[in-house]
Structure 1
Amino acid sequence: MTSVLVVDDQDLIRAGLVALLHAAPGLEVAGEAPDGLTAVALAARLRPDVVLMDIRMPGLDGVAATERILAGAAGGTRILVLTTFDLDEYVYAALRNGASGFLLKDISPERLIQAIHTTAAGDMIFAPSVTRRLIEAYTRTGTQSGQPSVLTVLTSRELEVLRLVATGRTNADIAADLTLGEATVKTHLNRVMTKLGLSSRAQAVVTAYESGLVVPGAG
C-alpha cells in the first residue's frame, strides 16, 4: 500500500484529491496539509511514500517544503509536484531540490493515480521532451571547459550513463546503447546519485545540464 500526503492551499482541490485517493486501489491517504510548514511537519511524523505537493502556496511554498522534507526523508519519501504551467521556474526549482516529477493540475484521475504509483517505485513520470523543455528554459549551464569539476568523482562510464539519462533515455535504452544489462545501468546510475548526493532521477538530469555535461538545445 502506497501512502500519500496531500498538500494544497485550496480546500476544494485538496478535498477532491483526498476523495480520489481514498477510492484508488493500492493507495492510502496518510494526511493532508494546507501549507508548506504543515506539510514538512506531517511528512516528518507520518513518513509517507509520496507527497503530492502544490508548488505555489503562501508562506512556505512547495519549493522550500520539498527541500526540507527531502533533507529529513533519508530516501524514504518522494515528492510529486502539482502545477498549473509546465514551464514554471518554481517547478524547475523543486526538481533541482530533489522532487521526483511534476504533473499539471488538469491531469486525468487515472493518470494521476498511475503517476503516484510510478513515483513511489522511483521512476520519472513525465515525458523526456517535457522535462527537457522545462530544464532548458531555466538551467544555468556551467561555464568551465572540459569535464565539470562537480563531476570529477564519476568514472567515464558513469558520466556516459548520466549524459544519456539527461537526454531522455530510459534504462533499457541506455543498456542497448552501451551493450550493458539493465541491472548494470541501474547500478551505475545509483552510484552517480550517491556520489553526487542526488535524491531523484530528475535531479540527476538537472545536474547534468547545470554542470555543462549536456548543453541546452543539443540533440
Structure 2
Amino acid sequence: MIKLLLVDDHAVVRSGLKMLLNGKEQIEIVGEAADGDEAIQAASVLHPNVVLMDLNMPHGKDGLTATAEMKQQFPDIAVLILTMHDDEEYLFRGIQAGASGYILKSAPHEELLAAIRLVAAGQAYLYPTATKRLMGEYLEKLKHGENTGTYETLSEREKEILSLIAKGYSNKEIAEQLVISVKTVETHKSNVMEKLGLKTRPELVKYALKKGLLQFE
C-alpha cells in the first residue's frame, strides 16, 4: 500500500486530488498539508511513502525548501513534485533538492497515478515533455557537431566533483567534503566543463541527470 501525503496551499486542489486518488488500487491518502512546515511535521507523524509536493506556497516553507529538508530528515520518503511550472530551472532545482519526480498539474490523471507508483517503487519520473526536451537538446548538439563530451575521459576525482556540483554543493562545500582547496575544486570544475563541452551549471546538471549521477533515495 502506498501511503500518500498531499501538500498544496489550495484546499480546493487538495480536495480534487483526494477525489481523484482515494480508492485507487494500492493508494491510501494518509494526510494533507498547506505548506512546507506542515508537510515536514505531518511526515514525521504519518510516515508516508510518497509526498505529492506543490512548489509555490506563500505561507511557510516553499516546496523546494521543504523537499530538501524532508529528504534530509526522512530519506526513505519519495517526493513527487506536482506543479504548474513547465520550467527547466524549477525542474533541476527540484532534482537538486532530492525530489524523485516532477509532473505538471496539467498531466492526465493516468500519468499522475503512474508517476506516484514509479517513485513509490524507488524509480525516478520526469514528465514526457521534459525528457523530450533534454534529449532534443542533446541530439541537436550531435546534429551540429558540438562536443557532447565523454564521461570516460574524466578522472575519478573529476567524476566525483561533477556529481557533487550537480547535486547543488558549492565549491566551498565540495572542498570541505573532499579535504581539498577551493582553488583545486575550481580547477577540476573547469576541466570537467571543458572535457564535456559544457558552459553553464544547468547544462552540467542535465548531463549528470542523463548519466544517472543524481541518485534518488
TM-score over 0.5 for the alignment?
yes
Partner residue in 2 for 1:125? 125
Distance 1:60 1:148, change over 3 A: farther
Number of equivalences: 156
Percent sequence identity is 37
Partner Cα separation in structure 1 for residue 88 and residue 57 of structure 2: 14
The 5-angstrom pairing of residues 25-174 of structure 1 reads 25-58=25-58, 59-73=60-74, 75-126=75-126, 130-131=130-131, 133=133, 147=155, 149=157, 151-152=159-160
How far is 1:127 from its partner? 5.4
Which residue identity is paired with 1:72? Q
Q: Residues 10-59 of structure 1: CA distance to partner in whole angstroms, max 9, x if unpaired?
A: 11111111121212111000100011110011112211100000011113
Could you list the structure 1 runs, at least 4 aligned residues long, displaced by more than 4 angstroms after superposition. 131-136, 211-214
SS at match of 2:48: coil
SS at match of 2:92: helix
SS at match of 1:95: helix
Q: What residue ranges of structure 2 are gaps of 5+ in the alignment? A: 138-152, 164-176, 178-191, 211-217
Partner Cα separation in structure 2 for residue 132 and residue 29 of structure 1: 31
| TM-score relative to the length of structure 1 | 0.61
Q: Residues 147-200 of structure 1: CA distance to partner in whole angstroms, max 9, x if unpaired?
A: 47463499xxxx9xxxxxxxxxxxxxxxxxxxxxxxxxxxxxxxxxxxx9xxxx
Distance 1:62 1:134, change over 3 A: farther
Alignment pair present for 1:12 and 2:20: no
- 8 Å contact from structure 1 (residues 47, 76) kept in 2: no
How far is 1:124 from its partner? 1.7
Q: Residues 64-121 of structure 1: CA distance to partner in whole angstroms, max 9, x if unpaired?
A: 0001111111x32000001112215233212101100100001111111111001101
Q: RMSD over aligned Cα, in angstroms?
A: 3.3
Partner Cα separation in structure 2 for residue 77 and residue 150 of structure 1: 30
| TM-score relative to the length of structure 2 | 0.62
- 8 Å contact from structure 2 (residues 118, 125) kept in 1: yes
Q: What residue ranges of structure 1 are gaps of 5+ in the alignment? A: 137-144, 160-195, 197-210
Q: Which one has the largest radius of gyration?
A: 2
